A and B are shown apart, each in its own frame.
Chain A
Amino acid sequence: MHGRLKVRTSEEQAEAKRRDKEKKVKWYRQTTTKIFNKRALGEKDDELLKLTGEVLLENSDLSTMWIIRREIIEIRLPTLSDDVTEFCQNELALLERCLRSNPKAYCIWVHRQWIMDHTPNPNWDQEKRLCDLFLSYDERNFHCWDYRRYVVKKAQISVDEEFAFSTEKIATNFSNYSAWHYRSKLLPLVHPSTNEEGNIDSDAMQREYELVQNAFYTDPSDQSAWFYHKWLLGRGKKSLAIGCGLIQREHTTCVHVAFNQPVLPTAKHPIVVLVNNTPVIQVTKSDWPKSLWSCDLLISDRENVSIKVKLEEISFELTLKEGEKEVWFINDVESIFQVMLTSASPEILTSELIMCRELLQLEPDNKWCLLSTLQLLEAIDPMLHHVEILNLFDKLVSTDPYRKGYYLDLRSRHAIGFILREHLMNFDPTRPLDLSDKGLTHLDYTEYMIMHKHINLRSNQIRSESLQGLVNFKSVQTLILDNNSLKEIPPSLNELTVLSSLSLDNNDIRNMESFSLLKGMRSLKKISIRGNPVCEIHNFVDLMKTYFINIENVEF
């Protein structure tokens, strides 16, 4: 089915082939009918072994034939004495013949494993040699790699030996992704860190960095080493912290808490909300982890009240004074924006950066190197290296256009992070959050925009799926979405209870359906919809006025 080139043949050749195939089909049908009949009659004899062997040599993908052989062999084996080894060797020889012409058939490797599980005198050296042989034919044959792992386990070969094997395979060919993959499993077992559980010894890490560097310098476009490099630099964890919080009081007291990462509460680790130190709400489960959690409390506003939110060992506590309508707080800003979670030390990050920069001098258009440099800068100091990071993203988009969607989404996250981080460090909720004209394709970090009253997203290319995040604009009064090629109004706007001014100029909104989804928004007083095809609909202003009961001003 795969890799069969359509070659033109002469009439004669085609006819000869046709007759030959016809004969084969006839033979196949006769033989398989005979096999199934014998099986049905329980004739688990030599003839059945012979027939299934013949069919399998013609078509080794027929897994039922291998099964029939197993049914015969499992009865036969206990009856054999001296001849048992020869019998098994014959079966292994048949298997090897089939593997040579069909090395990627699951059922053949499965049968071989079954034989090795059942043979009384397994020869694991022989199996290891078979694996070496088949990996020499195709070093990426994952069936063979998986079978090799089985053999290694059975033969109790040490992880050190296997680690050396992976080194050898990589030395022969840096482009052996299968070997690098295997290495990623062995490294933590062979060189565990003495002080940190699950981590890798630092000297060993240093040798790994040298190994990948060798690979890059030999062939900078060999991707295997770059994937491995990314893994070496990663494997970091973000400690749980609260990013920011907001308490809004209208009819109810609404508490919003944004953690620095998505959390999934459990019965053992619930999110607890306490009012004046008394637990009132416990969230013990959720279908989906998320960063932003909200709940409604019924509290009198006639007195001071303390509200505390707790998860594991972290908590925040706020006091809402009598009559106070809104209180917010900002806690750990920096950890919100950590994207490059690295376990590498600052020294390693710096030396890797130097190495990448040197390589970029030689290969300025190498996208692997550009991306690694970018990620190292993000890990080291994304604020300080902001301009260079943006330039690297732009270079990546031009040198590797197929992955433009990926680069632009990551670039959006970085651009938003840069602005929002500075905002939160010196927070003033009345200061507009200006994200206009930043080339945004994706709206990130909206959980940390819960307190902003004015948000400007003009002139971007934010995808409609990404606009789900708008529901998190809990405090927004003025929202500008001009010039985003929007085909419809994001339905999530419906949830914004204090939105009073909405601008949607120069988008591509064509019909009133979008607006009808927002019916009943009481807070909306002003809407600007200039430069949208929907303006052509002759009574659209009247319709708008029926949807938004408090609307005062429609600009079109």
Chain B
Amino acid sequence: IIMGTPVKDVQLPDNPAIKSLLLDKHASYVEAFEKNKDDYDYCMTEFLRISGIYWGLTAMDLMGQLHRMNKDEVLEFVQSCRHPSGGFSPAPNHDPHLLYTLSAVQILVLYDKLEILDVDSVVKFVTELQRPDGSFTGDKWGEVDTRFSFCAVATLALLNRLDAVNIDIIVKFILSCMNFDGGFGVTPGSESHAGQIYCCVGALAITGRLYEVKADQLGWWLSERQLPSGGLNGRPEKLPDVCYSWWVLASLSIIGRIHWIDKTKLTEFILACQDEETGGFSDRPGDWVDPFHTLFGLAGLSLMGNKEVKPVNPVFCLPQDVMDRIGLQCKLLK
């Protein structure tokens, strides 16, 4: 035996200020975020704006603070993102895409305003993006990705229009993206990645085909995402990142194996990613915060049973009470 490669990981700072969940700070951070429209980073992320709004709103709702957001402004913005094709763009003047169509529908579900949609046109936009092999492209330009399979079925499920597609062929394509380790990748042949796994497992949950997952094999691979710091990475030999507290944890939750990671240690990691000055969560301790990591830090804590936030639905990443309100359930594995 010659050498050993050091484990890629982070060191948790010893900062007593962030050992508890700073909900007030996070709520203030998210509330203020949308107001700073001249901020450079805010401006440069226009290409995902509507998703950013979904992340912020869901984070606020999980904290019981949704009322602090400007509902009318948000709904007006969503309307301004509607494209004649039926899809939604991330911001006005940008082009429509499945990713942003799902975010738009998720926002409307949160605010119980699905009625402002022309559901048939949204369904048309989604179904026209399906290819004969069951895959979905994100838009008419042809990029195929299992993320889009999830966006498609999640959008249709939230609109109660899963009847509009052939489930078998969708599932067939997803399964063609399954790998030697039980995980799923972007396209057939792509390496397993926790984000893609969440999308595929979520899509299989929505289509009632979770039994196709090799749950023990995949659950083990997912449990191996937990590093000594307690944080989770997205695939082997990568650094931990708070957003994987969602992608990995939600996947484990859907396949009934969330107890295969150490919750105490993960909680410590997530809390260490808080910024006590600005509020919000960053990808790992000491980095800049953003709404994306803030949502997934809170959602990860929720999945692990933290009582300071509302229960979150592991398939749709929306508060469970919202899912109960619309009456949408998926059978998960035990």
Interface, chain A (partner B; CB < 8 A): 1-6, 21-22, 24-25, 28-29, 32, 36, 59, 61-64, 67, 70, 106, 110, 114, 140, 142, 145-146, 149, 175, 177-178, 181-182, 184-185, 217-224, 227-228, 231, 262, 264, 287-289, 362-363, 401-406, 409-410, 463, 465-466, 468
Contacts and interface: CB of A to CB of B under 8 A. Distances in A.
Given A6-B287, A140-B237, A67 B262 contact: no
Interface in B286-333: 286-288, 290, 292-293, 331
A299 B297 CA distance: 59
A262 B212 CA distance: 11
B211 A288 contact: yes
A184 B170 CA distance: 24
B1 A406 contact: no
Contact of B93 (A36, A221, A362): A36
Contact of A67 (B3, B95, B287): B95
Nearest to A180: B180
A182 B286 CA distance: 35
Specify the main secondary structure of chain B where it touches its partner. loop
Given A24-B40, A403-B260, A149 B189 contact: yes
Interface stretch (B111-119, B123-131, B190-198): B190-198
B262 A402 contact: yes
B334 A468 contact: yes
A146 B261 contact: no
Contacts of A142: 185-186, 190-191, 193
Contacts of A218: 1-3
Given A2-B241, A289-B211, A404-B262, A70 B143 contact: no
Contacts of B283: 1-3
Nearest to A232: B180
Contacts, number: 164
Interface stretch (B15-23, B65-73, B154-162, B219-227): B219-227
A350 B274 CA distance: 50
Contacts of B220: 403, 406
* Residues of B in contact with A, size category: 35 or more
B141 A217 contact: no
A525 B5 CA distance: 63
Interface string B29-49: 000000000111001111100
Contacts of B334: 465-466, 468
B223 A406 contact: yes
B235 interface: yes
A5 B286 contact: yes
B40 A175 contact: no
A231 B181 contact: yes
Contact of B288 (A4, A405, A466): A4
A145 B261 CA distance: 30
B132 interface: no
B260 A406 contact: yes
Contact of A63 (B95, B236, B290): B95
